[in-house]
Each structure stands twice: as structure tokens, then as C-alpha cells.
Structure 1
């Protein structure tokens, strides 16, 4: 990371609450060019892409179980599509060109309609040339409200990303640099978090919704000035809240925290050079009405429980720099095959329980994302762990997941290090 910006006063970073659409059943998003103050105030602005004139795009707050229509207008000079990351929706609304829909061409509008079945923290982003369009800023928070919200004083979204830019704020557009694609991917030299609120009081109880919206960077993050617990991961409530320690979020992963404010709040990325400040949240005044107590668990999601798996498949990640050779025709491959093929990686019956071993035979970590479903991570003892839609598999390691494939359709399965997906780490499954 470029330390120049960290050493500058972090208070110069503008914490500007983003536009919010809350509880509406018909929304309009326009993908368009925007100018954003990414660097601290006084440094240059950045020409980017966004939605409705902002980057990130407006935060969408929807109600669980309520039908919504989101009209996406393409104000770009290239095609695009929008993926509603983590939402278990109808396949034709998933937002993946050439798999679930045609491109939204310039000046066209596509209506996405769905009924979100699960409360929690999600996000939306471009899914066409996403290694570039997301890097340029096509992203936003998507919150599905709880039927009974937890007892907190504030609900604050924290969207984190990084950008590769010059000192004047100009984006460096080497999105397909071959060296980067074969290593960690297109990585930023500047990072920050966007907060939906400027200030809280000491003693407040706050829900933080952290979203890693970066294209390739794994964020190891520490939240200071608070005491509390992790209550949900990737939108799915935990049966028992976890102690809040350092959070490791792969691209696209999310974590919900419920915390008590004890001092000014800082969000720091852990680096080998020391903490890198992503954002500050000011504390002013004291909440004298709040009575402290245990952090409550959120209501558990209504997902089908797995049966004994009827199939056990292995998805081996291959390629990249310092990796073994493979038979695919791109930089990266799954099981010796690069990019989308005519045949699926797996074919499953509706409701079938499947175990998949994700074997990372490369020198780099990969965040593997399954569309349209959540799955259980399986620990070393074979016990079902957390529900996720994206799982981080470190270099030369493996992880088993178990999924009930109950959502019919053609679903993408890919690395959410978006440079790696562009470089070949994409496949799909069929549920019928």
C-alpha cells in the first residue's frame, strides 16, 4: 500500500453518508460515469463508474419476503449487468451475461425482480468484465432488513475497497496486466472504507455491516474502540455470536458485528508495515440510557438442512505464477479447464445434498463464490461450520463445503478474486 496517504491525516477522509433507498418496492439504478473524492480532501478527485451519480452506489434496504423491482439503466458506452451478490433469487435474475441473461446494452434498461428470502448483509455489483467495472466502482450495499431488528442504536454499513491510482487521483487502468493476473490480481495502492454514518455516542450499541467490495484484496481488519461480537457472516446469522477479533474478509465476504462503543472507533487493515487506517468514526457525547448486556444472536435463516451427501466432487484450483502446469487455455484453471464450458462442473437434482472439496493447488489464496446458494464450511473434524456464499481457501490448502442445491438453474461457481475469474477460474453447476 502507498503509505503516503496513511501518514496524511486520516481525519481528512470525508465520511459522506451515501444515498439510501429504504423499503421501496420499485427502484431505479443508473450505471454511469461519476467523479468521486476517494483520496483525502485536498488531493485529486477520481473519474470512476458508479450508480445514480455516486460511488459506491446508493445503499438499497429491502424487506425480507417483499417483492421488489430494480430497473437498471445502462448509461455507459459499454454493456453491463448487475449481480445481487448472496441473494438466493430466481436464476434468470442473477445478473450473469451469457449464463442467465443478455447484456444490458448502452441506453437500455433491464428490470430485475425478486423476493429476498433472507435478511442480512449483501451487496450488488457489475458482473460483466467485472474485473474492470467493479475496479472502476460499480458496487453498492444491499441490506435485507430483519423482521425484528436487534436492539441497537445505530445500523452502520462499512464498505471497504482499494484502488490502484496515481497521486492526482487518476485510476491506473492496467486491469488486464498479465503479471498481476498471474499473481494476486489487480491490487490497489490506496484503500479506504465508506461509512454510512459520521458519528456515534460513547455507550451506544451499534451494528456494523462490513463488506469487502475489493476486486482482489483480502482484508485483515481490526475494529478498535469497541467491545462486542460477530453475529453474522455472508448475510447468515450465527447460531452463537463469535468473539470479535481480527476479521479476515476475502473479496465479496461480509461480517455483521454488534458492538458497544467505548472510545473513538477506527477501522484498520493489518499490514506487515503496521496498521493502515481505513476509516474513523467520531464519538461525541455519551448515551446514558443504554443498559449494557449480552450481545443477542440474530434470528437464524430458514435454509434446508443437509442430508447425507449423494455426491462428493473435487474442484482443484490450478495455474498462476509458481503454479503447476494445467491443460486449460488461460492463466488459471479448475480441474484442468479454463473459463466457462458447455458442460457443467456438476449436475444436481433439486434438493440434493452435495459435498465439494475445494483444493487449492496454487501459490495464492482464492475466494470461491457459489451463486444462488449458501453452503456450510466443514471443519477439520468434519463438523458443519458457518454458512457462507464465498469461502477463502489459502494457498496449498483445501476446504470441504456441503451444499443443499435447492435453487434450480445454471449457477456460476468462480473465484471472486475477479482477476483470477477473468484469467480462467470460472465454471458452473446445473440444478434441475
Structure 2
């Protein structure tokens, strides 16, 4: 009888303990799960973490500071710089190493650093008001991440970027792969355009544009109802942002006359990394046989030889080319453009052991189509895939109806922060269709933070060559692209036009992860301006 009672007591105690354990586990699980509108339980997702153990840490100190900078022999400006130069100090590391950057702000305005193209953890993205407070004058802020993805990238302030980039607050970051050991010469060429200050009328027009209530479309509707043709060339010209004020074009912060040539030797393999840090697309003519090996740092599969054609590099984009120095003579890389300033955006390639003779510079109308590069191979996505999320993104313009009527740039008829976000679950396969119906007929180089995307189609035609992986895609007027990415980097991310005149006037949306555990709280100390 005693044995039975003891056994019964033990069974009861075990049952009670088991129930307590279940309740305890359930309580802990509630911290990591949340119920959605359909009543199902979803796991809370957190920002990506990285383990630095055993990895080489490369530490850099960048100081945001004013510096007198000579663009040309007759034009010196007060630039905003990282470490006193334009572009700022180049950061160069090997794949898999840690990048640690201490940013000290000696300017009179808050700043930040965004690592353009690198899928860093959301905490490191450098977006004031979204992932951090901008760094106040006199303060220091540290960024730290693993450079997992080799390629050509750049860094720049994302605080009031339309002005801070214009003043020179950017630099380049190169993540080397084992393939880079096969290159004999490796040059980075940063393209940009500047205002000489002689276009005050344009500045006044821009100051008159209202950016306060970008979501009000009444004025646009009134114009349409009154019979005004919004597609006419006169209307497009009136609406277009006047880029003529940018009357100085540079490579690496200097006009042609102030740049030293790039030296090569016969037989060498030469890599040129083009980075566009400006707000205009530039058509660059390379008058020798070359290959486009990477776009936005990502490999092109078995790239073909291109015979002296023009490559276009849009704002935010990077294009890597390689050529073999065959000894045929010195030559000049130049910009093909209608603006007078284009003649200053060129660079000489000179043989160290040559005789000084210059190869003939053939003119060409051919422009490389990045969607037709290389050879087809296995890719992550295709048009027949089933996608978890599909998002239509119409890029357009509208007129604000405030006291001073000005133009705004819209996504799906709205301006940031009123544009509906792309809402995703972690692991989702996402397809975005981008269509440029912009009434000013402007290009829109759309940049996605935190992810790479694959181009699936252009104007309804599936890509037949190499898979093209990018983070910035220039969508021209009348074009439609389908792109796809995996939602594998939890956080809140911007997706915006990298002509920052357009972004600061509304052409921004976000990619937001469902059930994401926030890590940033606006302190109220800083006037954060994410664009």
C-alpha cells in the first residue's frame, strides 16, 4: 500500500514538474514569437549577427572635415571630405576580413556613413533616423562588419545626402577576392560633377520647391483636368530638374588637366573600377578591346570581349572592366556627353616603357547593354519561379500644390514616407517590377540597401546571357525591369532613387521585415535627415 501511495505521489510530482516545464517553455517562446492578424504564431526576427572570432580586423579612422580642394587650375572649393581628400581615403580589405571604421565628425553638421552595395547587418547601414542617429559635430561613431562579398563598393554620408555628397563626402571600399591576384594594375575611377557657383538662378528655383507635403497631388490633377498635356516636351522640360548647374566634371575629384595619367606596361592585365558618385549617368568610351567583368561588384559569367564600345555608369553604379595592355600605344578614356563639362571627364592611359605614340581614338555609337553580357549559367531565380511577395513600383512625378509649386518624384503616386513599404517575411522570395513613367523623362537609378537583386527581364524580355546581379539599377524613361531577391537580411531598408534630388523629393520606399525586433530608437537629439 505504501509503495502504491509513494508511486502515486511520484507520478503526480513528475506530472506537475512536466506541466511547469511546459509552461516555462511556453513563456520563453512568447518572447520570440508573435501572433499575426490571422492568428498564427510567427517567429520574431532579429538583426543579422556576425562572429569576428579569428578574423583579421582592419581598423580605419575617417574624419569628416572641411578641406580646400582644387578641382581644376581655376576652381578651388571648400569640400566636405573624409580625411581631407575627394574621394576620401580608399578602404581596401580582403574577402572575409573585418572592417572597423571610427568616424569622427569635425564638420558643423551631423553626418553618417552608408556602405553602398555591401549587405551589412542593418545596425551598420548608416541611415539616420532608421538605423542610427546621425553623428553630431565633435562625436565619434564606430561601424564594424565582415566584408563577406568581394567587389567594388563605395561609402558616403546618408545624412542630407543630396547636399553632403555634392560637397564631396564619399570614398571607395574595395573587397579583394582571390581573382584580384591575377590583375597587374588595379585603378579606381570615381566619376562626379560639380557646380561652379555661377548658376544662382537654378539654385533659387530649387529653393522654391516644396518638400514639406510631397503627398499632395491636387495640383497635378488640376493641371490634367484643365487640359494640359503632361507628356509634352515643353512640360517635361519645365518639370525636369535643371542639371546644367553641374558644369565641372571630374574623375577622382580632378578635371582632366589636373589628373595624372594611369601607367601600364605591355602584357599587363589592367583592371579599371568605375564608380559614379554623382547624380548624372556618364557614358565612358574605352577605345580598346576590354571585358566587363563585374557590375556593382558582382561577377559576369564568362564575359565577352567588347571592341571599344561605350559603357554607361549611372549614379550609384559600379562597373569593372579589364583589358590587356597590348602595346599598341597610349590612349584616352573619355566621357561622351552633350554638356561642355564632359570634355574634362577623361583620363590618359600611358605605357611606362612606350614611345609616347598615341593610338587612334575611334568614335563609336555603341553602348554596352548590361542585360546582354556574358554567357547563361545556373542562377538563383527565373521568371517561372513562384514568388512569396510581388511588388509593382511605378516611378513618376507630380506637382506639389503648396504656396510655391514645385515638382516631386513619386513611387506609386505617393512620396516618402507615405509610399507603402515592401513587406516581407524572412526567407521570402521577392519580385519587384520597376516601371519608369516619369513625366520629366528622367533616369531613375534605383538602389536597394542590404541585398543584391537579380535582373529577370528588361521590357518583358528574359535575360539570355549571364545572370546579372546588382544593388543599383538605372531605369530609363519608358523602361520596365523585373528583379528578384531573397529576404535574407532582417531589418528596415531603404529602396530609393540615387539621383538624390529625386530621393530627397519623395522617390523612396522601404523593405520592412515582418515581426522584426527593432534595435534603434530616435533619441530626439539629432535632426536626422535620411536622404
TM-score (norm 2): 0.67
1:305–1:404 contact (8 Å) kept in structure 2: no
Return the alpha-carbon distance in structure 1 between the equivalents of residues 127 and 500 of structure 2: 14
Number of matched pairs:
386
Listed one character per residue, the Cα deviations across residues 223-274 of structure 1 (whole Å, up to 9, x for unaligned) are 23x3220000001011121443211111010111111224323221112379
* Aligned counterparts, 1:181-192, within 5 A: 182-184=239-241, 186=243, 188-192=246-250
Query: For each residue in 1:291-333, what CA deviation from the matched residue of structure 2 results, as whole angstroms up to 9, or x when unmatched?
Result: xxxxxx99xxx99667531222101112158x9xxxxx97111
Structure 1 Cα separation of the partners of residues 141 and 162 of structure 2: 22
| Partner deviation per Cα, 1:17-43 (whole Å, 9 max, x = no partner) | xxxxxx86111100110111111x3x2
- The higher relative CO (CA closer than 8 Å, separation ≥ 6) is in 2
| Alignment match of 1:205 (pick from 257, 262, 269) | 269
Choose which of 315, 328, 335 in structure 1 pairs with 2:412: 335
User: Which of 121, 142, 162 matches 2:173?
Assistant: 142
1:352 and 2:416 aligned: no
What residue is the counterpart of 1:27 in the other structure? 60
2:314 is matched with which residue: 250, 257, 276? 250
CA distance in 2, matches of 1:174, 1:373: 37
* Cα distance between partner residues in 1 of 2:208 and 2:462: 38
Question: Contact 1:212/1:252 (CA < 8 Å) preserved in 2?
Answer: yes
Give the distance between the partners of 1:255 and 1:196, measured in 2 at CA: 21
Query: Is 2:475 the partner of 1:393?
Result: yes
- Superposed CA RMSD in Å reads 3.1
Number of the residue aligned with 1:9: none
Partners in 2 of 1:139 and 1:175 — Cα distance? 26
Which sits farther off after the overlay, 253-262 or 154-163? 253-262
Matched position secondary structure for 1:240: coil
Residue 6 of structure 2 aligns with which residue? none
Tell me how far apart the structure 1 counterparts of residues 63 and 452 of structure 2 sit (CA, whole Å). Answer: 29
Decide whether the 8 Å contact of 2:446 with 2:496 is kept in 1. Answer: yes
Residue of structure 2 equivalent to 1:130: 161
Deviations, residues 23-81 of structure 1 (Å, cap 9, x unaligned): 86111100110111111x3x232211111111110111012111221011111100111
Cα distance, 1:164 vs structure 2: 1.2
Cα 1:201/1:184, change in 2 over 3 Å: farther
Which residue, out of 490, 497, 500, partners 1:415? Answer: 497
Identify the residue that residue 22 of structure 2 maps to in structure 1.
none
Q: For 1:253-292, what aligned pairs fall within 5 Å after superposition? A: 253-261=317-325, 262-272=328-338, 276-278=343-345, 279-285=347-353
1:234 matched to 2:296:
yes
- Which residue in the other structure is 2:26 paired with? none
- Three-state SS of the structure 2 residue aligned to 1:149 is helix
Q: Deviations over 1:156-175 (max 9, x none)?
A: 111111101148xx9x9779
Residue 152 of structure 1 and its aligned partner are, at CA, apart by 2.0
Q: Tell me if 1:81 matches 2:158.
A: no
CA distance in 2, matches of 1:101, 1:139: 19
Closer, same or farther in 2 for the Cα pair 1:24/1:282, shift >3 Å? Answer: farther
8 Å CA contact retained: 1:315, 1:334: yes
Secondary structure at the aligned position of 1:203 is classed as coil
Counterpart in the other structure of 1:14: none
Provide structure 1 residue ranges, at least 5 long, that are not aligned to the other structure.
Answer: 1-22, 288-296, 324-328
Q: Structure 1 residues 69, 404: closer, same or farther in 2, change over 3 A?
A: same
Contact 2:93 / 2:176 at 8 angstroms: preserved in 1? yes
For residue 430 of structure 1, the aligned residue among 512, 515, 527 is: 512
Question: Which residue is equivalent to 1:373?
Answer: 451
When structure 1 is superposed on structure 2, of 379-388 and 199-208 the one drifting more is 379-388
Matches of 1:188 and 1:157 in 2, distance apart? Answer: 22
Partner Cα separation in structure 1 for residue 481 and residue 188 of structure 2: 29
- Maintained 8 Å contact 1:312/1:354: yes
The structure-2 alpha-carbon separation of the partners of 1:139 and 1:176, relative to structure 1 and needing over 3 Å to count, comes to: farther
> In structure 2, what is the equivalent of residue 114 of structure 1?
145
Offset of residue 212 of structure 1? 0.7
C-alpha spacing 1:131/1:74, structure 2 compared with 1 (3 Å)? same
1:397 is displaced (CA, Å) by: 2.2
Larger-Rg structure: 2
Q: For the Cα contact (< 8 Å) 1:49–1:133, is it kept in 2?
A: yes
CA separation of 1:68 and 1:175: change in aligned 2, threshold 3 A: farther
**Does structure 2 retain, via aligned residues, the 8 Å contact 1:266–1:277?**
no
* Post-superposition offset of 1:355: 1.0
Structure 2 residue matching 1:412: 3-state secondary structure? strand
* 1:69-108 per-position Cα deviation (integer Å, ceiling 9, x unaligned): 1011111100111100000110010011111111101111
Structure 2 gap segments, 5+ residues each: 1-55, 210-236, 253-258, 356-372, 401-405, 515-531
Does the CA-based 8 Å contact 2:261-2:348 persist in structure 1?
no
